[in-house]
Structure 1
């Protein structure tokens, strides 16, 4: 089968090629959108990533080109018009579980970095500055961490937090009995906001969760809260977070995702003038840590993404397809 891979990154190509077998792959570094969709003509399968736009117009053209499958190389699918794809008879697959541990571990890494300021200490020492002023943190032991969403990633992170001796509060529409047995306590959303020293998001982005973290929800958090988002940028109202950082309501923020990351993350813009005023403002805060959507970036995760993607493609080819979103 002929497969076109949009938003193809160097870090994933060797993994995809390893599982490609006899398939013919065309790598496109740019995203899939209304301007680039014509590149898919003559292919059987389109593979897309987090920030590709698979809207109604794109799907109509993919249908005209005879595309048999839209294969996402990620877990989230908020960038795909699923109902329209279904109406056109094009199945959509994703990678629902590539490495929950990868994202959970990155979440804890952000917490530890912000708290103990290891990124600042690293820069100081490289300049022969061994002063410790301004590097004071706090013990994680016995602190309360609020976990919003206890799916596979939230569950993995909760276990890590328990391992540090933290008290873990959780909010989810359904409770995980294993986590409860381990000591995680499920509470209402507002109680989690008010009682947690650290809050971490682990939920999908949809109409119900868009800007879940906003002026109102932030006002219910305790003063000096540490906030982490390794899920989806649209969960957070960026302007509200900036305001909370300026007012010192939020002690520190770790963001691996950003709601306007589409034309920024995954690419080198080091020679460009940053046009996004909100992101530029966020990066001025000394207590904010931003990574460019790299929480998933481990050998294990990339292996699972490539393997699962081609399992879906092979199922379509053999007419033994069983899974669709």
Structure 2
């Protein structure tokens, strides 16, 4: 639904912004007419002071939106916290309710973007295309050490069958894999397409590849730990494009050292807010855990780029700005999944 421009120009303060954020939001803001204020730093208890006369604050996955920040937002007369992402584990929703702030998100922007990146990680880890690329550039045409396996016929476990998990299941189904899935609610469409819903324990015991697509909450935090890893097949491949804290990293490192986990692909990391979306090429990284992970030849780390496609960024900008417009006009959202408070 397209609304006419508001009589006054509301201000939206963006935090954790990159160049591409301003490019896409300024492009689509032509239809909305907001005043956009971009900050390239994280929102937290100190940086919230930068907000001036803004009705809306727009945040991303690693911004800190706890009760202290929310209280200060309320004092500054901010009305809306607009997440330009699907996950909202970094927002204290009870505090937002307490201070009467609306919270909205982008529940689905491009599920295919994240699902396709998960598959790209699987193919890269398996066929070692990243290593082959570097070898050939150095005139090394040997195939030693590049041995992979057929995906066809392998069992892939999908944990979480929301929009992204469903898109990922379709992709691996197309490769001729046996697809197992776990979610709190089964999906009849997926079952008709050949996906079998099973228990988490079955996923762990029977899968050759496990891909995480569930939200982070109290029940899923450290879902992958020494106990669940012990149930898995030897030489399992583990992929995480969801949230870093789904994995107990120290337990995964131990499993990598023992050879229990043969391949690990992560696009997210529990302490990523200190590293991701920044250039640290001239820095000494102080995080020994991520350094240890990157030292393994069978580990692939990407810096939260699974969402990073033209289609996804366009949809994120449009939905975020549309959410703000609806809430400022009518205090409700057409898309009920987008409204958190």
TM-score, normalized by the shorter chain, greater than 0.5: yes
Partner Cα distance (1:187, 1:90) in 2: 39
Counterpart of 2:166?
155
1:81 corresponds to which of 87, 92, 95: 92
Specify whether residues 320 and 92 from structure 1 end up closer, same or farther in structure 2 by C-alpha distance, changes over 3 A only: closer
* 2:22 is equivalent to residue 13 of structure 1: yes
Partner Cα distance (2:25, 2:158) in 1: 33
* 2:307 is equivalent to residue 280 of structure 1: no
1:128 corresponds to which of 139, 161, 164: 139
Counterpart of 1:4?
13
Tell me, what secondary structure is at the counterpart of 1:194? helix
Counterpart of 1:290?
301
Counterpart of 2:104?
93
Partner Cα distance (2:280, 2:42) in 1: 16
Residue 315 of structure 1 and its aligned partner are, at CA, apart by: 1.4
Tell me, what secondary structure is at the counterpart of 2:57? strand
1:184 corresponds to which of 178, 195, 214: 195
* 2:36 is equivalent to residue 45 of structure 1: no
Q: Size of the alignment, in residue pairs?
A: 325
Residue 263 of structure 1 and its aligned partner are, at CA, apart by: 1.2
CA-to-partner distance for each residue in 1:267-309, whole Å, 9 max, x for gaps? 1111110111110000000000000000000011001100011
Partner Cα distance (1:263, 1:320) in 2: 35
Counterpart of 1:214?
225
* 2:155 is equivalent to residue 144 of structure 1: yes
Tell me, what secondary structure is at the counterpart of 2:272? coil
Partner Cα distance (1:169, 1:14) in 2: 40
CA-to-partner distance for each residue in 1:67-117, whole Å, 9 max, x for gaps? 010000000000000011011110000000000000000000000000000
2:254 corresponds to which of 243, 251, 264: 243
Counterpart of 2:4?
none
Partner Cα distance (2:328, 2:197) in 1: 44
Structure 1 vs Structure 2 CA RMSD: 0.8
Tell me the TM-score normalised to structure 1 length: 0.99
> Unaligned regions of 5+ residues in structure 2, if any?
1-9
Residue 320 of structure 1 and its aligned partner are, at CA, apart by: 4.7
Partner Cα distance (1:207, 1:134) in 2: 40
* 2:129 is equivalent to residue 118 of structure 1: yes
Partner Cα distance (1:246, 1:91) in 2: 46
Partner Cα distance (2:261, 2:225) in 1: 12
* 2:176 is equivalent to residue 165 of structure 1: yes
